[in-house]
Amino acid sequence: MELINYVIYASIYIGLVATTFYILSYFSGNKKEKSLYKDNELPKVSVIIPVYNEEKSIEGTLNSILTTNYSKEKFEIIVINDGSTDRTLEIAKKFESKGVKIFSKKNGGKGSALNLGIKSAKGEIIFSMDADTFVTPDSVKDMVRYFKNKKVMSVSPAMMLYKPKNILEKIQSIEYLLGLFLRKTFASLNAIYVTPGAFSAYRKSFFDRYGGYDEKNITEDLELALRIQSHDYIIENVPEAPAYTVAPNRFIHLLKQRRRWYYGLMKNLWEYRKVIGPRYGDLGMFVIPVAIVSIFFAVFVTAYMFFKTIFNIRDELVFLSNINFDFKSVLHTNFYFIERLIFLFVTNPIVIFLSLFIILSFFYLFYASKKTGKISGLIINIPLFFIFFAILFGFWWIVSIVYIMFNRKISWK
């Protein structure tokens, strides 16, 4: 057996044990009673929206957050204009009459804008919200309820994609939906180590005690989540509270986003390496180690498959030239051929394992649709995801690792 087969089987085995563990944890976590705020107990909330040249989406985002059914007396919206050079400020100012507070500053990055917002905020609970994110009227209230437990320092929503249109967006939409089950499972283990920057809630007292966002960090949301975990607090998740974000729709933009995320993940995990180990329970003993191992396998297998595909294409071209490009003879099929193909498929353990994981993915998607409502476009989006995501995932990671290895700098935008 080739080395690559050992690597693939090892990754499948770890994947099976991890998946089983997560499913067991989900059902176990589901049984636990949560302490939640009732409507009359809900604390004051501040939603901070840092904006930098968001003229296309800021209006929709503000309209969306203004539809919240949270008590108006306990709710404030703060827009921090981070030195926009387009019409963002002008559009935002139209909402001042609806109670939206607007502050302007010199461009300094998302972290610095959020920190200014935190200083100005009156709420006990702080929401960070991107200017291209949309929420449902219940999302804020459903998330804030979880802060009744004083150990809870952050609550994340069910992050989903806003109206995916092209192939890249459709692939990402499935990735986000599949993540909902895992995020809830991680919450049941208190092992969430990323809170979505697009829409998440935090207890203000945490910022007061441990400082605001790390302004130099390119994944400040990730750093904040790890900081919360490192201080032994809880990060919750509410799959019933959807938040829709706009995803990169061009390959290069998506690559830049993922490169920033994964580069940031590696840097922050190294900075907070103390959370790996038994001291941090399931997070340190299982969730983060399994994530690291999975990334290693994904990178190894993608790199191998990439080069193997290149060599296979070369071999195929040589073969086609050897048969004078007689495609008819290559495409010739009959019952024997199909029977042999079926035999090869059903006797290949990797194909069986892949089928199992695909079936499992359908359960994850069923869970997502049950929690967030009807999801459209699955018939097209699912095959696209299974065909392309693994290749893209490996590719993004390889690029990010190369950047880390050569100490290349990555900026937020």
Partner 1 sequence: MADRKIQSKKRYVLAFLIGTFIFINVFFLTYSISYFEYQRISSEQQQLSYDIFKDELYYSLFDKNNCSLSSLSKISEDLRFQGSIIDELEKKLGKNNQGVLFRKKFYSLIELEHFEFIGKMNDKCKFNISTILFFYSNEDKDIKNSESVGRLLDSVYTRNNDLVIYSFDINLDDELIIGLKKEYLIIEPFTIIINKKIKVVDPKNIEEIEKYLS
Binding region for partner 1 (CB under 8 A): 12-13, 16-21, 24-25, 28, 151, 189-190, 231-234, 278-286, 315, 319, 322-324, 326, 328-330, 332, 334, 336, 339-340, 343-344, 346-349, 352-353, 356
DSSP lists the bridge partners of residue 101 as 78
CB of 155 to partner 1, least distance (A): 14
Angle among Cα 352, 353, 354 to the nearest 5 degrees reads 90
CB-based contact 372:273 (threshold 8 Å):
no
Cβ-based nearer residue to partner 1, 240 or 282: 282
Helices and strands per DSSP (H, E), number in the chain: 15, 8
CB of 275 to partner 1, least distance (A): 10
Query: Measuring CA to CA, which residue among 193, 179, 192 is closest to residue 237?
Result: 192
CB of 237 to partner 1, least distance (A): 15
CA distance linking residue 410 with residue 216, whole number of Å = 11
CB of 284 to partner 1, least distance (A): 8
CA distance linking residue 48 with residue 87, whole number of Å = 19
CB of 16 to partner 1, least distance (A): 4
Cβ-based nearer residue to partner 1, 46 or 156: 156
Q: How far is CA 148 from CA 2, 125, 142, 408, in A?
A: 54, 11, 12, 43
CB of 168 to partner 1, least distance (A): 33
Query: Measuring CA to CA, which residue among 79, 72, 64 is closest to residue 137?
Result: 64
3-state secondary structure of 86: coil
Any residues with CB less than 8 A from the CB of 316 and at least 6 apart, and which? Answer: none
CB of 345 to partner 1, least distance (A): 10
CB of 187 to partner 1, least distance (A): 12
CB of 324 to partner 1, least distance (A): 7
Any residues with CB less than 8 A from the CB of 287 and at least 6 apart, and which? Answer: 186, 189, 191, 193
CA distance linking residue 245 with residue 372, whole number of Å = 14
Cβ-based nearer residue to partner 1, 343 or 362: 343
CB of 17 to partner 1, least distance (A): 3
CA distance linking residue 153 with residue 207, whole number of Å = 10
One-character DSSP codes across 221-258: HHHHHHHHHHTT-EEEEEEEEEEEEPPP-SHHHHHHHH
Q: Which residue has the tokens 């009807």?
A: 374
Any residues with CB less than 8 A from the CB of 139 and at least 6 apart, and which? Answer: 68, 157, 199, 241, 242, 243
Q: How far is CA 201 from CA 250, 305, 307, 366, in A?
A: 29, 40, 43, 26
